[in-house]
Structure 1
């Protein structure tokens, strides 16, 4: 059985991506939550379970293979199961989806810093920096292009739920947490994402977590 090590569901955006990726595979897996920055966190990071990830989550163990980084987990599971579970079948759509997923993986540092993930709260709108607004507009532009060009088959970015939706799932939660105004098409997409059974499962579990990390609570306010 696969084993997935994740951090707090309330705060760990990369863990959310890795977890959704494994759910999308349809494979059974053991889920291990290691609360970030607690006593157990440091102890487990020093052990073999976290090697060679450098102490980061998520980490997927598949027998003797260890895969860390959410996008690598997606690719591993796509190869292991069926790539059509993760990427559009159409070549043109697939090229765009892979590019969007890669951009989400490597970009938007200001949004990540200023709008840290916290799925247990929702704050009133506030003034955002120009850099954050620019990144939000870029994300909305990508969503609009994907939906207009390739989204006619369903409510997700490329119609069916896919890897690119997994990569943007924590952005959807951030937009809710910080009351980011979005156009109607984006609101409809976000509603589809938030209504997805796996998103609901993640958010409900986050509400039940006993751990509070003050640095993220303070950053969110």
Structure 2
């Protein structure tokens, strides 16, 4: 009998930036999986995850009974299980750098996260901005500018070809769109490139079709 496909548990597409990272990486690299969407903060969310994981957190990858609930751990597991998929750059130095910027994204940018959360359906120009948020934006602009300049000849992504680093910054591309963040041309082009990915368009379309919003979003929903 063929082995069961791994299952990726995800939260609402409109909000769940961490879910997007794992989902986009797997979808864009052609890593086969089943998805199990759950509404964040619901009783179903807690009860379903309690059956398969010691932590009620998404994304959650379950493969042959193994539960992996941290996005960086999911990425490393996928890299080991699918060494030819291109999860990380092939060059060891570039691979180390890609891991570093993913770890920085994973652990940092708290002001941007809290003040400008991912909200695909909403249009919030300038909302949440302050000097601390701008410092996070400036650091991201610095990362994107340096990596795009270094690898421009090899492709349109941070390390030329799409890899985990692009998946980790994909929610930032969405945040910058929602909040109309002004970017230098090289960074804005990168933002548009990520948003144009087929898998990213799929995620966005499904997010817009969810019609599942937090109450505080109502004043800021896009006009139909």
- How many Å apart are 1:63 and its aligned residue? 0.7
Equivalent-residue separation in structure 2 for 1:161 and 1:97 (angstroms) = 11
Summarize the alignment of residues 117-136 of structure 1 with structure 2, pairs less than 5 Å apart: 117-126=118-127, 128-136=129-137
Structure 2: state its 5+ residue gaps.
none
The equivalent residue for 1:8 is: 12
Q: How many residues align?
A: 217
Summarize the alignment of residues 141-152 of structure 1 with structure 2, pairs less than 5 Å apart: 141-152=142-153
**Kept after mapping to 1: 8 A contact 2:29/2:85:** no
Match of 1:19 among 7, 19, 23: 23
The equivalent residue for 1:115 is: 116
Q: Return closer, same or farther for 1:220/1:69 CA change in 2, 3 Å cut-off.
A: farther
Equivalent-residue separation in structure 1 for 2:219 and 2:15 (angstroms) = 12
- How many Å apart are 1:152 and its aligned residue? 2.1
**Kept after mapping to 1: 8 A contact 2:12/2:38:** yes
Deviations 1:55-78 (A, max 9, x none): 111100001111111111111011
**Kept after mapping to 2: 8 A contact 1:9/1:206:** yes
Deviations 1:72-102 (A, max 9, x none): 1111011001166111122222222111111
Cα RMSD of the aligned pairs, angstroms, is: 1.8
The equivalent residue for 2:67 is: 66
The runs of at least 4 aligned residues of structure 1 exceeding 6 Å deviation read: 218-221
Q: Return closer, same or farther for 1:84/1:152 CA change in 2, 3 Å cut-off.
A: farther
Equivalent-residue separation in structure 2 for 1:111 and 1:220 (angstroms) = 18
- How many Å apart are 1:12 and its aligned residue? 0.3
The equivalent residue for 2:195 is: 194
When structure 1 is superposed on structure 2, of 189-198 and 93-102 the one drifting more is 93-102
Structure 1: state its 5+ residue gaps.
none
Deviations 1:185-209 (A, max 9, x none): 0111011101100100000010111
The equivalent residue for 1:185 is: 186
Equivalent-residue separation in structure 2 for 1:127 and 1:201 (angstroms) = 27
**Kept after mapping to 2: 8 A contact 1:193/1:199:** yes
Equivalent-residue separation in structure 2 for 1:74 and 1:220 (angstroms) = 34
SS in 2 for 1:139: helix
Summarize the alignment of residues 77-116 of structure 1 with structure 2, pairs less than 5 Å apart: 77-82=78-83, 85-116=86-117
**Kept after mapping to 1: 8 A contact 2:151/2:158:** yes
The equivalent residue for 2:161 is: 160
When structure 1 is superposed on structure 2, of 3-12 and 76-85 the one drifting more is 76-85
**Kept after mapping to 1: 8 A contact 2:154/2:161:** yes
